[in-house]
Amino acid sequence: MKKCVFIIPYFGQFKNYFSIFLESCAYNKDFNWIVFTDNEDSFDWPSNVKKIQMTFEEIKSKIQDKFDFKISLDAPYKLCDYKPAYGYVFEEMIKEYDYWGYCDCDLVFGSMDDFLSGVLEAGYDKLFAGGHCTIYKNTCENNRRFMTASSQYGKLYRQAFTSERIFAFDEMCYGVNVHTLFLENAARVWTTDFAFNISTESYMFRRKYFNEESNTWIEEPTNSYIVFDRGHLYASSMNKKWKSGKEYLYAHFQGRMFSIDDNTKKNPDAKIVFMPGKIFYYNGYPSFLTLLVWNVKCVSFSRLKEYCRKVKRHLFNPQFIPVDHNPYEEKAVGISAIK
């Protein structure tokens, strides 16, 4: 049996740092990815990342074939609600794996073996609470657990799959979701957060992590920068050198836009440094002075760019209209599943 495969349906343009995502996957040879996409751009696809050319209508039809009721899936962003069903929808394709998962492609992975080998060997049914990266044990029963009924709201998946609204069914966002279903069913769930999930509430890089005790997302106040170094990923405070950074399983950039500094040349030993709005390739360890210069170059532009992006998103994309209510309790115009 193989260790784990991630399923990623993605339609449209990839971020301009998608090649770094692929590079980070390539370092994790014991893990595999399957990307269903209609994108025809040329990338250097690693041997452990399989691209399957597919249209959105084709993936919609494949999902519909697995259910005896009419699903609501009119746009790619609605796929987030269907993520917990991927193990069921694609069960024939993933049967040789012990685990399967879903993840976003605005991630950069660190050393997955270092963080996950022991946890996977322990046989947990579900790993992690966030929808940007979740892993499930690949068994017939476990892959259908998303269909079980909530003690309070009934069959959540039918509500989420028959509504055009976003329910954030894939993650711990509202009071009930696939994560709470696993807990209600006494499944073995691992919730220690290994990720540097960047908060959307600041233009700087601040980690937002899942707190196991409170079952909530907590933002750390420290402004950080992120370094990808040949298969390892670190985050460090803006006033510290890279060597003092903490290692993470992955960084989640929350769909942020970056420009890539053309004045820095990439070589096989270069470290990739992420700062708000900018990606640098650096041959060595950034000094405090170097970080200060980069920060000045990034922050003012990034602040304006992020502000404009948020305004545009809220004005023109109805799925991002924030609603405080639980969508399982009353109808809403639209909800934001972004933390």
DSSP 3-state of 227: strand
Clarify whether residues 142 and 275 are in a common domain.
Answer: no
Clarify whether residues 175 and 220 are in a common domain.
Answer: no
Instruction: Please give the Cα distance from 137 to 114 (Å, whole number).
Output: 19
Clarify whether residues 33 and 139 are in a common domain.
Answer: yes
Q: Which long-range contacts (CB under 8 A, 24 or more apart) does 282-290 make?
A: 285/241, 285/242, 285/243, 286/225, 286/241, 286/242, 287/241, 288/239, 288/241
Average pLDDT of every residue of the chain: 86
Per-residue pLDDT, 153: 87
128 in a domain, yes or no? yes
Clarify whether residues 177 and 295 are in a common domain.
Answer: no
276 in a domain, yes or no? yes
| CATH code at position 172 | 3.90.550
Task: Give the strands of the sheet with 49-53, arranged side by side.
Answer: 49-53, 31-37, 2-10, 97-103, 133-137, 126-127, 189-190
Clarify whether residues 69 and 203 are in a common domain.
Answer: no
Give the alpha-carbon dihedral of 93, 94, 95, 101, to 10 degrees.
Answer: -150
Instruction: Please give the Cα distance from 14 to 257 (Å, whole number).
Output: 11
Which residue among 191, 222, 242 closes a domain? 191
Clarify whether residues 104 and 129 are in a common domain.
Answer: yes
96 in a domain, yes or no? yes
Which residue among 191, 225, 259 closes a domain? 191
Record the pTM.
Answer: 0.87
Per-residue pLDDT, 277: 87
What does the pLDDT look like over 280-327, one tens digit per residue? 888 876 777 777 776 766 665 555 555 565 555 544 444 333 334 455
- CA dist 63 to 9, 171, 181, 210, Å? 11, 19, 21, 30
324 in a domain, yes or no? no
- Residue listed under structure tokens 């799925």: 319
8 Å CB contact between 280 and 273:
yes
Number of domains the chain contains: 2
Q: Checking DSSP bridges between strand 97-103 and strand 208-211, what pairing results, if any?
A: unpaired
- CA dist 339 to 11, 45, 54, 132, Å? 22, 30, 29, 10
Clarify whether residues 184 and 279 are in a common domain.
Answer: no
- Confidence at 333, pLDDT banded by 50, 70, 90: very low
Q: Which is more confidently placed, 84 or 293?
A: 84
Domain extent at residue 213: 195-315
Instruction: Please give the Cα distance from 169 to 156 (Å, whole number).
Output: 8
8 Å CB contact between 169 and 156:
yes
What does the pLDDT look like over 120-163, one tens digit per residue? 999 999 999 999 999 999 999 999 999 999 888 899 999 999 99
| Beta bridge pairs of residue 260 | 279
What does the pLDDT look like over 177-223, one tens digit per residue? 999 999 999 999 999 999 999 999 888 899 999 988 888 899 999 88
Query: How remote is the C-alpha of 326 from its chain's centroid?
Result: 22
45 in a domain, yes or no? yes
Instruction: Please give the Cα distance from 328 to 239 (Å, whole number).
Output: 44
Clarify whether residues 77 and 31 are in a common domain.
Answer: yes
Per-residue pLDDT, 307: 52
What average pLDDT does range 46-53 have in this prediction?
Answer: 98
Clarify whether residues 32 and 170 are in a common domain.
Answer: yes
Clarify whether residues 64 and 165 are in a common domain.
Answer: yes
Q: Checking DSSP bridges between strand 278-282 and strand 271-275, what pairing results, if any?
A: antiparallel
220 in a domain, yes or no? yes
Clarify whether residues 182 and 48 are in a common domain.
Answer: yes
Q: Which is more confidently placed, 20 or 255?
A: 20
Which residue among 137, 162, 191 closes a domain? 191
Clarify whether residues 203 and 112 are in a common domain.
Answer: no
Query: How remote is the C-alpha of 41 from its chain's centroid?
Result: 22
331 in a domain, yes or no? no
DSSP 3-state of 324: coil
- CA dist 55 to 48, 171, 234, 272, Å? 22, 25, 36, 33
- Highest mean pLDDT: which range of 10-14, 169-173, 321-325: 10-14
DSSP 3-state of 126: strand
Per-residue pLDDT, 325: 47
- CA dist 203 to 208, 261, 307, Å? 13, 19, 8
Which DSSP letter does residue 238 get?
T
336 in a domain, yes or no? no
8 Å CB contact between 3 and 97:
yes
